[in-house]
A and B are shown apart, each in its own frame.
Chain A
Amino acid sequence: MSRRRRAVVLGLVAAAVVVVVVAPLVGTVPLRPGLVIEAIVHPAAADPLAVQIVSLRLPRVVLGLLVGAFLAVAGASFQTLLGNPLATPYTVGVAAAGSFGAFLALAWPLIGRLGPLGAVPAQAVVWSAFELLLLAFLARRARWGGTALILAGVTFNFLFAAGTLLVRLLADPFRLQAMDRWLMGGLDIVGWRAPVTVAVMGLPALVVLLAVAPALDQLAFGDAVAHGRGVPVARLRGLVLAAGAWLTAACVAQAGPIAFVGLLVPHGVRLLIGSSHRRVLPASVVAGAAFLVAADALARTVPLLGRGAELPVGVITALVGGPVFLLLLARRSSANRSSIGG
């Protein structure tokens, strides 16, 4: 590894550590570091308000770390799987399906929960899984490559978006605000159930994707080249589709469709340390986690024009991520003949 790459990786890790340490301190009520440490180490002796605030913020930081890491890795993997640098974790439609499920549960709370999952994440996971199975079945049958998968994903996105609109139309109007708020994506959860569920669902899929990183390097040359170098292409494609979509489903079920993390983070990482997946995927874990927790800390700190509500983190990632990505795109298209959209 070159000296520059090592410096970048150290910088990323340091940034992540700083973010994790600072994030619990900030919010509508800022806390001193001493109070936070006391609240964690000696909750009985600490300021009760601080204990309460910390018990809200810590699970949220952990959820942010997990969701940021998972979405970034899913995005990086999908960009290679689909042969398109503009792909995101949501391109194949699992997030739209999950949103549809969540809307069902939000509109008609009678629609049920599932084991440890509350009604909303349960329905999101069920519909994401349904969409993924359908997509995988079709892709296998017709031996779809990247472009066909993208087109199918776009179609599923439209179908489930239409379903989501329909649910919105039929729902009791006083539930609409909760539904719209969910669609913006947010980490405003209570308790440890959400981060634990995301971790249990997502970590195996993350391990799978990290393990196939060298094969993904080969896939970036095209399926035929990868085959010639001994990659079991069909099996790899199935595995990456399933693992990436499952990671995405786990995140969307708990945090809603948070925008741009899966697009922005992998490209930022590639600009910094090159495009080998053996470096990009682990670095995306660190950078995605740090980026989302930082964005969420910002979301908690920026007051929403006296309405007492927090800014949804999905709005922050989109507002920060959108312009940054446009800059990136402008820079790359002028420097590079075919890498984006080619």
Chain B
Amino acid sequence: MSLEARGLTFAYAEDAAPAVSGVDLELETGELIAVVGPNGSGKSTLLALLAGWRRPQVGEVLLDGRPLGSLSHRERALQVAYLPQSVVPLYDLTVGEVVASGRHPHRGPWGLGNGGDRAAIAGALAATATTQLAARDFGSLSGGEQQRVLVASVFAQQPRWLLLDEPTASLDVHHRVAVLDVLRSAVRRGSGVILVTHDLNLAALFADRVVLLVEGRRHAVGTPTEVLVQPVLEAAYGPELIVVEHPEVARPVVLPRSGLSR
């Protein structure tokens, strides 16, 4: 199962500089792919393009070799789920309702459910450790719990590809790790996860591949040990970083240089 970007270029306005420019990617399921880069490097825009939410002005996205735009909306949603940044439901909903809403593409006209609904919802709640929250009001949860519930709604959709925009932003370390563990479990079951994140260390410890964007362009793609190295990161983020090795595993850790001596 492949998701491919061919020469993607996208600008938000005709006279604006492109947010994403000439990006080529070939991604396979069974991997967790982290999209990283400085602020404004086009990470979220790239994810929106891969999800079909934005249409590129140049280039195309191919899902198993078929242009994404040639699929019906429903066909696409059965394959590719997309969770944008900061989701705020308009009305009061219970956690169970939020998770169940992920079943939409599996339902027939008039929203009638199918047999798999209950099992998929229960499975999604269990996988994200939110079963005990099911009857709670979504708005009453903490930020970390809300993120887990939103990830559960993506799980309930049972797609091959999970495209998530900063699902761990605003979470503490413990909850970040919890969400990433859940995403790794999806990868083990054969899904592909594409994750936009600011957190280079999370990418280093959980991703199979890292896509580094700089000013809308593909700067580097590879394993964390290939991409998260001093010269590559310096070109993207400037000289204020040092890369060391994690004490437990052979993965890089990126630290800011100390400001104390300045």
Q: Which residues in A have some Cβ–Cβ distance to B below 8 Å?
A: 79-80, 83, 85, 211, 213-215, 217-218, 220-222, 224-225, 227-232, 270, 274-276, 278, 336-339, 342
| Contact status B84-A214, CB under 8 Å | no
A230 touching B73 in the complex, CB below 8 Å, given contacts A214-B104, A225-B87, A342-B88: yes
CB neighbours (8 Å) of B104 from chain A are 214-215, 217-218, 229-231
CB neighbours (8 Å) of A270 from chain B are 91-92
- Count chain A CB atoms within 10 A of each CB in B51, B90, B105 and give the residue with the most: B90
How far apart are the CA atoms of A132 and B93 in the complex, in Å? 32
Q: Does B116 touch A at the CB level, under 8 Å?
A: no
- Count chain B CB atoms within 10 A of each CB in A215, A224, A232 and give the residue with the most: A224
- Taken residue by residue from 97 to 140, chain B's Cβ proximity to chain A (1 for < 8 Å, 0 otherwise) reads as 10001101101011100000000000000000000000000010
CB neighbours (8 Å) of A232 from chain B are 73
A231 touching B111 in the complex, CB below 8 Å, given contacts A221-B101, A225-B87, A339-B90: no
Shortest beta-carbon distance from B172 to chain A in Å: 20
| Contact status B84-A222, CB under 8 Å | yes
At the interface with chain A, which of B75-83, B176-184, B189-197, B235-243? B75-83
Q: Which residues in B have some Cβ–Cβ distance to A below 8 Å?
A: 48, 51-53, 73-78, 80-84, 87-94, 97, 101-102, 104-105, 107, 109-111, 139, 157, 163
| Contact status B48-A229, CB under 8 Å | no
CB neighbours (8 Å) of A83 from chain B are 90
Report which of B52, B83, B93 forms a contact with A225, defined as CB distance below 8 A. B83
A214 touching B107 in the complex, CB below 8 Å, given contacts A229-B102, A232-B73: yes
| Contact status A228-B97, CB under 8 Å | no
| Contact status A228-B83, CB under 8 Å | yes
CB neighbours (8 Å) of A221 from chain B are 87, 89-90, 101
| Contact status B101-A217, CB under 8 Å | yes
| Contact status A339-B139, CB under 8 Å | yes
Shortest beta-carbon distance from B110 to chain A in Å: 7
| Contact status A224-B53, CB under 8 Å | yes
Name which residue of chain A comes closest to B48, CB basis: A224
How far apart are the CA atoms of A232 and B94 in the complex, in Å? 25
Q: Determine chain A's interface SS by DSSP, over half rule.
A: loop
CB neighbours (8 Å) of B88 from chain A are 222, 338, 342
CB neighbours (8 Å) of B90 from chain A are 79-80, 83, 85, 220-221, 275, 339
| Contact status A228-B51, CB under 8 Å | yes
| Contact status A218-B87, CB under 8 Å | no
Name which residue of chain B comes closest to A80, CB basis: B90
A227 touching B111 in the complex, CB below 8 Å, given contacts A217-B101, A336-B92: no
A sample of 30 inter-chain contacts (CB < 8 A) reads A211-B110, A214-B104, A214-B107, A214-B111, A215-B104, A217-B101, A217-B104, A220-B90, A221-B89, A225-B82, A225-B83, A225-B87, A227-B52, A227-B53, A227-B73, A228-B51, A228-B81, A228-B82, A228-B83, A228-B163, A229-B105, A230-B73, A232-B73, A270-B91, A275-B92, A278-B110, A336-B92, A336-B139, A337-B139, A339-B92
Name which residue of chain A comes closest to B90, CB basis: A220
| Contact status A230-B77, CB under 8 Å | yes
Shortest beta-carbon distance from B195 to chain A in Å: 15
How far apart are the CA atoms of A45 and B75 in the complex, in Å? 64
Q: Besides A217-B104, A224-B84, A229-B101, 18 other CB < 8 A contacts?
A: A85-B91, A213-B110, A214-B104, A214-B111, A221-B87, A222-B88, A225-B82, A228-B80, A229-B81, A229-B102, A230-B77, A231-B73, A232-B73, A274-B94, A275-B92, A276-B97, A278-B110, A339-B90
Report which of B94, B110, B139 forms a contact with A214, defined as CB distance below 8 A. B110
- Count chain B CB atoms within 10 A of each CB in A213, A221, A338, A339 and give the residue with the most: A221
- Count chain A CB atoms within 10 A of each CB in B53, B91, B110, B139 and give the residue with the most: B91
How far apart are the CA atoms of A129 and B22 in the complex, in Å? 44
| Contact status B109-A230, CB under 8 Å | no
CB neighbours (8 Å) of B77 from chain A are 228-230
Shortest beta-carbon distance from B107 to chain A in Å: 7
How far apart are the CA atoms of A336 and B90 in the complex, in Å? 11
CB neighbours (8 Å) of B139 from chain A are 336-339
Name which residue of chain A comes closest to B71, CB basis: A230
How far apart are the CA atoms of A224 and B74 in the complex, in Å? 14
Shortest beta-carbon distance from B121 to chain A in Å: 14
How far apart are the CA atoms of A214 and B73 in the complex, in Å? 15
- 4 pairs of A and B residues whose beta carbons are closest in the complex: A214-B111, A230-B77, A228-B82, A275-B91
| Contact status B105-A230, CB under 8 Å | yes
How far apart are the CA atoms of A79 and B91 in the complex, in Å? 10
How far apart are the CA atoms of A275 and B80 in the complex, in Å? 27
How far apart are the CA atoms of A336 and B93 in the complex, in Å? 12
How far apart are the CA atoms of A338 and B163 in the complex, in Å? 26
CB neighbours (8 Å) of A342 from chain B are 88
